[in-house]
Amino acid sequence: MAPQATPADEWLDNDKVKQILKEHLDETDYRIYKALNEDGRMSDTEIGERVGLSRTAARRRRKKLQDEGLVDVLGVLVLQEADLAYADVFVTLDSGVGSAELDSFLDAVKGEELIYEIEEYMGRYDLLLRVWHASLSDVKTYLRSLLQDDDAVENYETIPVTKTHKAWHKTLDEETD
């Protein structure tokens, strides 16, 4: 069966994407990633049909991408669709605190269920924590209890997210009035 032209093929015309990815993924691997990003439950047979491979070849390539840590098939809670509040929290760590305290702080925030992403930064801030809760008031209370009295935290800035237009390469539903 000939592969269908799909949005997954769009990158072939995008020289910037091609340049960035060519050292890490070939075109077929990228198309597998795009297919899984659209539907993480897609079977190897469906992936193969989508990218022009047999089921066995698609499975082998998908598994290799997962084993190398380049693709991770996971479920995500779309916070805005669930009408939950979420915010980006920029954290500046105290430079006078030792590495043991910093490691302890990082271990603590990694274990927090209400923190769904942690990024390390260089520059004005040291960390980005992405948090969610039932309401913005709950986000504020939660962050105060988590960060305000921790010796590792010099200060933090919270920026509530009002709407997500695109995440995980998906355009999220527009609000209907």
Residue 12: predicted pLDDT: 57
CA–CA gap between residue 130 and residue 160 (Å, rounded)? 10
Query: Does residue 22 surpass a pLDDT of 80?
Result: no
Residue 75: predicted pLDDT: 59
Residue 5: predicted pLDDT: 45
Q: Is 104 exposed, middle or buried (0-12, 13-18, 19+ CB in 10 A)?
A: middle
Residue 153: predicted pLDDT: 96
Mean pLDDT (the chain, rounded): 83
Q: Which CATH architecture has domain 7-67?
A: Orthogonal Bundle (1.10)
Residue 49: predicted pLDDT: 94
Query: Does residue 16 surpass a pLDDT of 90?
Result: no
CATH code of domain 85-166: 3.30.70.920
Residue 2: predicted pLDDT: 45
**pLDDT, average across residues 104-116:** 94
**pLDDT, average across residues 50-69:** 91
**pLDDT, average across residues 53-69:** 91
> Which two structure tokens, joined as six digits, stand for 137?
């008031």
Q: pTM above 0.85?
A: no
Query: Does residue 26 surpass a pLDDT of 90?
Result: no
pLDDT confidence band for 1 (50 / 70 / 90): very low
Query: Does residue 136 surpass a pLDDT of 90?
Result: yes
CA–CA gap between residue 57 and residue 80 (Å, rounded)? 37
Between helix 55-67 and helix 27-38 the angle, nearest 10°, is 90
Q: Sketch the domain layout of the chain as residue ranges.
A: 7-67, 85-166
**pLDDT, average across residues 136-164:** 93
Residues 82-109 pLDDT 10s: 778 899 999 999 999 999 999 999 999 9
Query: Does residue 77 surpass a pLDDT of 70?
Result: no
CA–CA gap between residue 53 and residue 169 (Å, rounded)? 23
Per-residue HEC secondary structure of 12-40 comes to HHCHHHHHHHCCCCCHHHHHHHHHHHHCC
Weakest mean pLDDT among 1-10, 24-33, 103-112, 166-175: 1-10
CA nearest 28: which of 88, 90, 70? 70
How many Cβ atoms from other residues are within 10 Å of residue 47's Cβ?
21
